[in-house]
Amino acid sequence: MNNKIEVRKMIATTSLLAIAIVFDLLVGLTGLRMPFGGNFLGISMIPLVLIGLFFGLKYGLIAGFLYALYNFGVDYIVYLDALRLTLESWTGESWSAFKIVLLIGFDYIIPFMAFGLSGLFSDAFQKQSKFVLSFIVVSIIRLISSTISGVIFWGSSIQYAVDQVNAGLEEANLATKIFAFVGNDLWLYSLGYNFIYIFTTFVASILIGLVTYKRMKMLKEDYFSV
């Protein structure tokens, strides 16, 4: 019996991970993105958090890691390498292997594996408050990691963008406006920039989650209980 449950968990984890990737691609097509990365409505958060809530910490962390690899692969192919070359030419500083490893950790591994920490909330379908709390905790960890990354790795990118705007070569965007609003303070800029899309993602995800809460509770009880 337990083997059948484990097979169900693995199949469902794979399916939810695939749904998260589809959500990410669909949201990407809407163009609802921040200037330097981050979706306003990153509802791929929902199936990833559900993996941890349904099946526990192990499945949640594994799914988060795989989703991080997917995101890094797509970002690298689309823009990351070109952006690295641009910033290197502007600052005159090469990105070391150590810096790239840290980038992968703070921009991908930590924030996306954080989704799997929802597995710590095993009673999320007994107490709705714990369900909400799981999304809050995940979002806070993402915010902390992304804020640190914004300061360590992407500080030169916002300065480059500001210089382009000041030179009349580019129009001001949301990122440069945030930077100006906080008085060019890099920590406040990074916190504010990342807070915007992480908060909008949290609100959209928790609203959808609460609307479907009873249905998801029944699904867990009927198909994934031991």
Euclidean distance between CA atoms 41 and 139, whole angstroms = 13
CATH of the domain at 193: 1.10.1760.20
Of the candidates 212, 35, 46, the one whose C-alpha atom is nearest the C-alpha of residue 115 is 46
Which distant-in-sequence residues (6+ apart) come within 8 Å of 64 by Cβ? 48, 112, 113, 114, 115, 116
* 9-31 confidence digits (pLDDT tens): 899 999 999 999 999 999 888 87
Collapsed DSSP state (helix, strand, coil) of residue 25:
helix
- Domain membership of residue 137 as a residue range: 2-223
Match 């199949």 to its residue by tokens.
Answer: 11
Question: In the predicted model, is pLDDT for residue 202 greater than 60?
Answer: yes
- Distance in angstroms (rounded) separating the CA atoms of residues 47 and 110: 17
Reduced 3-state DSSP string for 97-153: HHHHHHHHHHHHHHHHHHHHHHHHCCCCCCCHHHHHHHHHHHHHHHHHHHHHHHHHC
pLDDT of 90 > 60? The answer is no
Whether the model pTM is above 0.85? yes
Segment 58-69, tens digit of pLDDT: 999 999 999 999
Total domain count, the chain: 1
Q: Shortest CA distance to 144 belongs to which of 106, 101, 112?
A: 106
